[in-house]
Structure 1
Amino acid sequence: MPAGGFRRIVAALRDYAAHPDPRAALANAVALVVASNQPFYPLYIYWTVSPTIWPSYVSFLSTPLFLAVPALMRRSTLLGRATLLFAGIGNTALCRAALGGVSGVDVFLFPCLVLALLLFRRSERAVGLGFAAIAGAVYLGPAALPGVDGHLYAAGEYEALQRLNFISAATLTALIGLLFANILENGTRRPSETETPPET
């Protein structure tokens, strides 16, 4: 792809994710990062775990929801933020059912928990705590869905899968922390810090 075309795509994605509400903009950025990485998850499993990647295809069911978050955010920031949490927790539950509890995929509930506590204002605290409770219920619930048999990996493959999921979830959580730190910094910066120093 020509460099100009790539820059236009990046600019379009930035415009799509942009929002005057910092929390909404954070949620949009996280949603698009997750959606853009989902197609690569089966490849990561193929390269680091096993050639058997079909159980990971269930993650694609949530891709439309992640992609829709910025559009929904323009209609209602509460709806957009709630959709991000619904997609994240639901995707983790589906992958846990397909890959098994021993896969360690439920570690993705941690970034969901962080988002549930950061994305909602004090007046919306009940919504955030509700999503945090749902994430906890998913973790404590059964790993397999009744009547659904997933693939059984070897012990060494499960260890590799656990490492992959931990690194991925830790990276996502760190990104969320960095984005929120930027919100705090921009919100507390004094006007003098944003002014251009006079030329000498």
Structure 2
Amino acid sequence: MFKILKAKEPSDPLTGAAGSVAFLLAVNKPVYPLYLLFLAPSAFEVSLFTALSLPLYLFVWGMARKGHSYPARLGIVIVGMIDTILISFLLGGDSGALLFLFACTILAGVVFYDDEKWVSRVLISVSFLAFLTLEGRVGPSVTAISASDMQTLYFINVSGVAALMGFIALRLPRPAKQD
């Protein structure tokens, strides 16, 4: 039963880290609306749409497990950025969802190798420019969310960004010290 969750030897450490992030996000997708059901109920219905990206994160995770290194590492950054932007428009600018672009920026900076630095730099720039372009310009939620629930939603999203960035930092491979 748990064979699917058993870690397979990654093709390389950065791909393993990217796959772990994709798996964490996939697992969180059905849980996020449940948080909101209890903590910010007026945001529950619209939050159900956030789970639509679950198959994309599972696909990235599967690519990482099968050793498709570059597509998996590229995929986690691109899927993360697109997912973040779409969810920001669903939940509204005051939800703090757009802040997940910071985690995407960090991922773009750490899951690529030295010979892929230009891909990394382009993705970092796209993520940062998307934030600068959209911050303050994303309108209200597509459904009515009460002011108190929006404050709770903002706190949940800011906490989620911090936790995700912490997970990324902990999951990254640490190179051996050179003597």
TM-score class, shorter: 0.7 to 0.9
Q: Would you say 1:124 and 2:116 are equivalent positions?
A: yes
Which residue of 128, 148, 156 maps to 1:136? 128
The question of whether the paired residues in 2 share the 8 Å contact of 1:58 and 1:94 is answered with no
The question of whether the paired residues in 1 share the 8 Å contact of 2:93 and 2:141 is answered with no
1:84 equivalent in structure 2: 76
Q: Would you say 1:37 and 2:31 are equivalent positions?
A: no
- Moved beyond 2 Å, runs of 4+: 70-76
Aligned residues: 174
2:62 equivalent in structure 1: 71
2:176 equivalent in structure 1: 188
The residue type paired with residue 112 of structure 1 is: C
- Cα RMSD between the aligned structures? 2.0
Q: Take 2:148 and 2:62, find their aligned partners in 1: how far apart are those partners?
A: 42
Q: Would you say 1:179 and 2:171 are equivalent positions?
A: yes
Q: Take 1:129 and 1:114, find their aligned partners in 2: how far apart are those partners?
A: 11
Q: Would you say 1:155 and 2:150 are equivalent positions?
A: no
Q: Specify whether residues 163 and 149 from structure 1 end up closer, same or farther in structure 2 by C-alpha distance, changes over 3 A only.
A: closer
Structure with higher RCO (Cα < 8 A, 6+ apart): 2
Q: Take 2:78 and 2:50, find their aligned partners in 1: how far apart are those partners?
A: 13
What TM-score do the two structures reach when normalised by structure 1?
0.79
1:49 equivalent in structure 2: 40
Structure 1 gap ranges (5+): 1-7, 191-200
Q: Specify whether residues 20 and 149 from structure 1 end up closer, same or farther in structure 2 by C-alpha distance, changes over 3 A only.
A: closer
Q: Take 1:26 and 1:42, find their aligned partners in 2: how far apart are those partners?
A: 25
The residue type paired with residue 64 of structure 1 is: P
2:6 equivalent in structure 1: 14
What TM-score do the two structures reach when normalised by structure 2?
0.88
Which residue of 53, 78, 99 maps to 1:107? 99
Mapping of residues 162-173 of structure 1, within 5 Å: 162-173=154-165
